[in-house]
A and B are shown apart, each in its own frame.
Chain A
Amino acid sequence: MLFKLLFLSCFLCIPSICFSKTLDLLNVSYDPTREFYKEFNREFEKYWSSSNSAVKIRQSHSGSATQARAVISGLQADVVTLALAYDIDIIAKESQLLPSNWQQRLPNNSSPYTSTIIFLVRKGNPKNIHDWSDLIKSNVEVIMPNPKTSGAARWNYLAAWGYALQSKLAEKKSNAAAEKYAKEFVTALIKNIPVLDTGARGSTTTFVNRNIGDVLITWENEALLAFQQMSKSSSASSAHSQFEIVIPSLSILARPPVAVIDKIVDKRKSREMAEAYLKYLYTPVGQRLAAKHFFRPALPELVDKKELAIFPTLKLFTLEDFFGSWEKAHKIHFADGGTFDQIYRPHAP
């Protein structure tokens, strides 16, 4: 009897899957923006439904390259908000879902917020690390993810390369000499990495929880967020207040871009809303929320000075300054057989 009941209930409990068909928008994003978009989406839903019909923003997060791949193979994203322009370029190139000039369609190269690359060291800074040049000392262990798989790591790598270039160019050396030095510099840096994780969060765990390495190279927004989160959870504070942030003299301006996916919004008839959604990022509401979640606002004049105080001032260069474009940087440095492949050899035993 018991058996028959169980058997029956198994078949009877097939529920119907029904999805409500209210207006919605899917934002496909990368990992560190979770907290920011959670709050921003609520604001946008309020704003949009005050003058239009109700809307629901659906949100997806994963690694930036993974998300680009998912959109190419059919994830129905109305908008993408990824870690680097190269990932949206790939979508444009491989699927033609949006035109290749997408980056010109919104202000500040379609980046409503920016970030940069900074260091996290252990309390008291025992290895005396103050700038990129300290990272190539032979007794320093550096933690960063693998540029082959991680968007953050590409920014890290290019930041180090740019720093080395700049230091030689400032000494009035020739371009070729500076390039040669930059390669040596980055080679020395990579020699100091004991373990290359696949993603930024993985590296943070290696550094913070597994206690490996003297310095972690990471996103400014990740470092600030991790700090805030760690100090919030009281039980963990004793273990995690053992770090401090170090700001290098020069770093790269990381510009995470956003774009409407034209073919998808046209099919779903959501273009008007999708464009309004991205434009809303450039309003005082969007900019203030970005600052609150540790992204540097692209339009700082819209945000209170007080709220900008968390961002340290440092000299920043752009990718275009030294590398031309993402496509070029990718081809030279990260493609198979590029400089990273030439430099990186797994440590011999």
Chain B
Amino acid sequence: MPMNTLASKAANAMITLVALSFIFLFLILPILVILQQGFSEGVVAWWQNISDEETLLALRLTLTVAAIAVPLNLLFGIMIAWTIAKFQFRGRELLLTLIDLPLAIPPIISGLMYVLLFGIYGWFGAFFNNYDVQIIYAVPGIILVTIFVTLPYVARELIPLLSKQGTEEELAAISLGASGLQTFWRVTLPNVKWGILHGIILCNARAMGEFGAVAVVSGHIRGETNTLPLHIEILYNEYNFVAAFAISSLFVSLATITLLLKGMSSEHHSKKH
């Protein structure tokens, strides 16, 4: 039936074309625009914009926040995933749902929750104020909300992996005389290491990119509590479009590297199975 195959070929080509132009229009084109704008005044201007003092301070803050939030969430994520995947207990389903809460709550609400908790009239506000400890409108507040919004990523990544593997290998290890910790380090963890890496990458991307929740608790102090995403908005609002897009291009390359790493990790991951 040559007519039929021809028609189906044409249909295939059509669908591919539509898909490709969709990807180009909604993915590639905006990224190209950012790069074009960022470099519109040449590489030297781009570099000057990147190495501006306030930008570097914002970058340092963003890296600091990620460097604290990601390891903590990694630790927490592994523990919670281990608990949920390997043990049966009452309230397990509830816990599983609760982990997703930060993904479901709009970021601005996450920020406001922390203002209500640590603001001067908040539950803990007076306590910290007595000791002159500034939580909200300072770096600790930014770190707290970042931890909150990035909490689910590692755990989410690990729970399905760990549950799929079941408990046979662990049971074997224990019956051969391994201690709980040994089993965890030697058996459980190596099995999911690429999943962990995957989770770290996602968690890190969100930690560095978070805007809404951080904007609420930041206090917008220049060179001090402005993270990189907030700084981009400031530059844009100050009609400094080139600088805003130069930094955005930095973010885009960061995201690209992240995705490449992620691709690598999933490749390894699939090879194992």
Residues on A facing B (Cβ under 8 Å): 3, 6-7, 10-11, 13-15, 17, 26, 31, 34-35, 58-62, 70, 72-76, 95, 201, 226, 229-230, 233, 235-236, 267
Contact = CB atoms under 8 A, between A and B. Distances in A.
Interface string B42-73: 00000000000000000000001001101100
B120 A17 contact: no
A226 B239 CA distance: 8
Given A73-B122, A76-B137, A201-B237, A60 B71 contact: no
Interface residues of B, number: 37
Contacts of A236: 241
Nearest to B40: A235
B239 A229 contact: yes
Contacts of A233: 239, 241-242
B121 interface: yes
B134 A76 contact: yes
Interface in B21-41: 40
Interface string B223-264: 110000000001001110110000000000000000000000
Interface in B129-185: 129, 132, 134, 136-137, 139
B92 interface: no
Nearest to A74: B120
Nearest to B224: A58
A74 B40 contact: no
A268 to B, nearest CB: 9
Contact of A60 (B119, B200, B221): B221
B186 interface: no
A165 B176 CA distance: 92
A61 B71 contact: no
Given A26-B221, A70-B219, A72-B121, 5 more contacts: A3-B193, A14-B71, A75-B219, A229-B239, A233-B241
Given A74-B137, A76-B134, A76-B137, A58 B70 contact: no
Given A60-B219, A70-B137, A31 B237 contact: yes
Chain B interface mostly helix, strand, loop or mixed? helix
Interface of B: 40, 64, 67-68, 70-71, 74, 115, 118-122, 125, 129, 132, 134, 136-137, 139, 193-194, 196-197, 200, 219-224, 234, 237-239, 241-242
Contacts, number: 75
B146 to A, nearest CB: 13
Contacts of B68: 14
B239 A10 contact: no
A230 B139 contact: no
A73 B121 contact: yes
Nearest to B217: A70
A24 B183 CA distance: 53
A270 B125 CA distance: 23
Contacts of A229: 239
A34 B238 CA distance: 8
A73 B119 contact: yes
Nearest to A235: B40
A74 B125 contact: yes
Contacts of A35: 238
Nearest to A97: B120
Most buried by B among A34, A74, A95: A74
Contacts of B129: 74
A10 B70 contact: yes
Contacts of B136: 73-75
B220 A60 contact: yes
A73 B222 contact: no
Contacts of B67: 13-15
Nearest to A37: B222
Most buried by B among A10, A14, A235, A267: A10
B137 A75 contact: yes
A139 to B, nearest CB: 31
A292 to B, nearest CB: 16
Nearest to A58: B221
A10 B68 CA distance: 9
9 contacts: A3-B193, A3-B196, A10-B74, A14-B67, A15-B64, A15-B67, A58-B224, A60-B221, A74-B125
A11 B221 contact: no
A236 B40 CA distance: 12
Contacts of A31: 237
Nearest to B215: A62
A185 to B, nearest CB: 32
A74 B119 contact: yes
A183 B67 CA distance: 57
Contacts of B70: 10
B131 to A, nearest CB: 12
A230 B234 CA distance: 17
- 7 A-B pairs closest in CB distance: A73-B119, A74-B120, A229-B239, A75-B137, A60-B220, A60-B221, A3-B193
B149 to A, nearest CB: 18
A76 B135 CA distance: 11
Nearest to B136: A74
A81 to B, nearest CB: 14
Nearest to A199: B237
A182 B119 CA distance: 41
